[in-house]
Amino acid sequence: MNQLVKRVIMSVCGVALCGISVGMFKFAAIGVDPFQSLMSGLDAVIPIRFGTLYVIVNAVLLLFALIFDRKKIGIATFINLFLLGYIVEFSQGICEKLLPDAPLWLRIVILLMALVILCLSSSLYFTADLGVSTYDAVALVWSQKQSRIPFAVCRVICDFCCVAIGVGLLLLSGVRFPDIFGTVGVGTIITAFFMGPLIAFFNRRVAQPLLGTRR
């Protein structure tokens, strides 16, 4: 198969799987991924529509990527921007129809499945190199500019910064600490710890062999 065709398929599959996984996270309701926790905090203190806020934040991150490494912006970046939200809604809706009133143990299982799918999806479109989401670009650019810091470490640091800022903003907005755990919960902490290492694992074991770039 032509290398470009492989990369396009990997990018599209990566974005689709990412949307499915985020929908599963939202359905599990035990904490969203670190970037969404940041967005929840910003939404709580900035009095504009969430959709508009999401565009503004991603535009800032897009500017960062364009300044430091334009190669990270490509077709997958724009597929992510325009389609991800709809895929998330579809995925969450399917889960709600198939599993109404899911018990806690099942929601935990779904959360763990979502984490694995999210990391696999990120690995696929990272390796395809046709553009990544604006948030993913931050850790990738940082790790490549600072070659002594592995990507997994950069990603963990970025994720924890998002969680910390998100929690701080939620508290600042007047949200009670116990109520925060619906947004920034166990799932958020798990993703902050494990996304970087799992993405690196899938890069080596799945995405790079698929593309034929494994060294």
pTM above threshold 0.85:
no
At residue 32, the pLDDT reads 82
CA distances from 137 to 22, 25, 34, 126, 155 (A): 18, 21, 15, 9, 10
**Residue 131 contacts residue 11 (beta carbons within 8 Å):** yes
Give the CA-trace dihedral at 142, 144, 146, 148, to 10 degrees.
130
In terms of residue numbers, what domain contains 163? 3-211
pLDDT by 10s per residue, the chain, length 215: 688 888 999 999 998 998 899 889 889 888 888 888 888 889 889 988 776 787 788 788 888 878 877 777 888 887 777 777 788 888 988 999 999 999 999 999 999 999 999 999 989 988 888 887 888 888 888 887 766 788 888 888 988 899 899 989 989 998 887 777 767 788 888 887 888 889 999 999 999 998 886 65
Q: How many angstroms separate the CA atoms of 80 and 15, rounded?
A: 6
Question: How many residues does this entry show for the chain?
Answer: 215
DSSP 76-109: HHHHHHHHHHHHHHHHHHHHHHHSTT--HHHHHH
**Residue 104 contacts residue 29 (beta carbons within 8 Å):** no
**Residue 56 contacts residue 187 (beta carbons within 8 Å):** no
Q: How many domains does the chain have?
A: 1
**Residue 169 contacts residue 53 (beta carbons within 8 Å):** no
Q: In this structure, which amino acid lies at residue 140? A: L
At residue 102, the pLDDT reads 93
Q: Which two three-digit tokens encode residue 189?
A: 């902490």
At residue 214, the pLDDT reads 60
